[in-house]
Structure formats: structure tokens, C-alpha cells
Amino acid sequence: MGTFRYLFLITFALVFGSSHADPDLLQDICVANLSSGVTMNGFPCKNPSTIRADDFFFAGFAQPSIPNNTVGSLVTAANVEKIPGLNTLGVSMSRIDYAPGGVNPPHTHPRATEIVFVLEGELEVGFLTTSNKLISKVIKKGEIFVFPKGLVHFQKNIGWTPAAVVTAFNSQFPGTQSIAATLFAASPTILNDVLSKAFQINNSEVEKIKLKLKPKK
Ligand SMILES: *[C@@H]1O[C@H](CO)[C@@H](O)[C@H](O)[C@H]1NC(C)=O
Ligand SMILES: *[C@@H]1O[C@H](CO)[C@@H](O)[C@H](O)[C@H]1NC(C)=O
Ligand SMILES: *[C@@H]1O[C@H](CO)[C@@H](O)[C@H](O)[C@H]1NC(C)=O
């Protein structure tokens, strides 16, 4: 019983003590003034007299987007940059559309846990723990999967038809680091020798990947 209570307290402390995401709000609303030019943690509030319902509205999920890139997936973000009313509220969403076989390549959100709901189709999804254990599953329409905060994860449409998901984050601006682009499309670029040793490949192979992932002008 003592052990049980101890475990319960530890779990409680972990869940409610250290796993909170964005800082809590200090007033009802603080609609972001995205053009203020003031740099701070989050955005300054705009003049309350200018607040409108549209500050809390976004219609960008209503239609599927057509993934027209080389990975076959397209993310439509609904974060504080699109919905200024989310400022200080600690939540946001995104919609992801996938072509048949499309992949949302391995990436992390440094500031948020993500929960995914499948709108359409069937996907292989997974994340990696810090001990490199792959936790993966096939999920289909109506099902949910969770990617814990900061861990590398991915999704692949394994069906013959387009797929789509809606995701939610416990941050107004979760941030995304896509592993391949972060390493091979950085600006300024990372030394070839760093990447060649990390991936155990030679310089010309590093150059080849850098060229493929170079941001299109
Ligand atoms: C946003 O910030 C700018 C710069 O401080 C200011 O001029 C502008 O009036 C602000 N807009 C609103 C709606 O508060
Ligand atoms: C992909 O589609 C988006 C709009 O859905 C468009 O802005 C973009 O230019 C397209 N990119 C390519 C490479 O066709
Ligand atoms: C780099 O590695 C590739 C693939 O193993 C090989 O074909 C190529 O000859 C290598 N290039 C150099 C300069 O060593």
C-alpha cells in the first residue's frame, strides 16, 4: 500500500508538476498584436477595443489541401500566427493532408505534446523514445494517437486514397524541427564533416542530400 501511494504521488507530481506547457494566462484574453514589433515570450496584447470574433476564427481546415511536394504531405497550421486570439491560451491545432503513400517526415515539436485524430484514411504513425525504442501503430478513421512532447515522430499514409488528420497541441506555438531539413538545409550550412561522421557517409553523399533538401527560392 505504501509503495502504491508513493507511486501515485510520483505520478501526480509528474503529471501536474513538471509537464505543463505554455505559461498560464493572467487575464481573460490577450489577442496577439502580431505586428507590434515588441519581442517577448509570446506576443503583446492588442488594444482590447479592436478585438473581433475573427481574432478567434480560422477556416483553413474546411477544405483538404493538395500535397504537391516531394514527401506527399501538407501541414496547415492553426497556431497563434493564424489565430491571434490563441495568444496566452496554450493550445493550437493543425490539419495534415497526405497523398497515397505520403509521409510527414520525422520531426519534433519542442514545446508541445501532440494528439492526432484521423479524419480520413489509414496511417502508420510512430514516435521514438530517448532510448531509441520505436512505439508505432496503424491508425484509421476515427482513431487517436499521441506523440509525447519533444519526441521525434512521423506519419505515413499506408492507403491507396488520400488521408487526413486533425491534431491538437498544448502550446499556442509548438514549433517544428524536421530532422532532415534541420540538419541538411540549415542556414548557414552545417560542416559536411559533422554530417558525414554523424551519418557515416562521405562528403559527396552529404552534398547530394544538402542539394535535394535545399529550400526552393
Ligand atoms: C500593435 O502594435 C503597434 C506597435 O506598438 C501599434 O502601433 C498598434 O496600434 C497595435 N495594434 C493594436 C490593434 O493594438
Ligand atoms: C503547392 O500548392 C500550394 C497551394 O496549395 C501553392 O501555393 C504552391 O505554390 C504549390 N507548390 C508547388 C511546388 O506546386
Ligand atoms: C561516396 O560513397 C558512395 C556510395 O558508397 C560511393 O559511390 C562514392 O564513390 C564515394 N565517393 C567518394 C569521393 O569516396
Please tell me the distance between residue 49's alpha carbon and the centre of ligand 2 in angstroms. Answer: 37
Q: What is the 3-state secondary structure (H, E, C) of the chain?
A: CHHHHHHHHHHHHHHHHHCCCCCCCCCCCCCECCCCCCCECECCECCHHHCCHHHHCCCCCCCCCCCCCCCCEEEEEECCCCCHHHCCCCCEEEEEEECCCCEEEEEECCCCCEEEEEEECEEEEEEECCCCCEEEEEEECCCEEEECCCCCEEEEECCCCCEEEEEEECCCCCCCEEHHHHHHCCCCCCCHHHHHHHHCCCHHHHHHHHHHHCCCC
Q: pLDDT tens digit string along 130-151?
A: 999 999 999 999 999 999 999 9
Nearest CA to ligand 1 atom 4: 36
**Any idea which ligand is nearest the CA of 76?**
2
- Structural domains present in the chain: 53-176 (2.60.120.10), 185-213 (no CATH)
Per-residue pLDDT reduced to its tens digit, 184-208: 999 999 999 999 999 999 999 999 9
**Ligand 3 centroid – CA 38 distance (Å):** 50
pTM, rounded to two decimals: 0.87
- Ligand 1 surroundings by CB, under 6 angstroms: 33, 35-37, 46-47, 50
pLDDT one digit per residue (tens) for the chain, 217 residues? 455 555 555 444 444 445 567 888 899 999 999 999 999 999 999 999 999 999 999 999 999 999 999 999 999 999 999 999 999 999 999 999 999 999 999 999 999 999 999 999 999 999 999 999 999 999 999 999 999 999 999 999 999 999 999 999 999 999 999 999 999 999 999 999 999 999 999 999 999 999 999 887 6
Q: Is 176 in the pocket of ligand 2 (CB under 6 A)?
A: no
Tell me the binding residues. 104, 107, 109, 114, 153
Question: Is the distance from the beta carbon of residue 71 to the nearest atom of ligand 2 less than 6 Å?
Answer: no
| Nearest residue (CA) to ligand 1, atom 12 | 46
C-alpha 211 – ligand 3 centre gap (Å) = 16
- CB of 19 shorter than 6 A to ligand 3: no
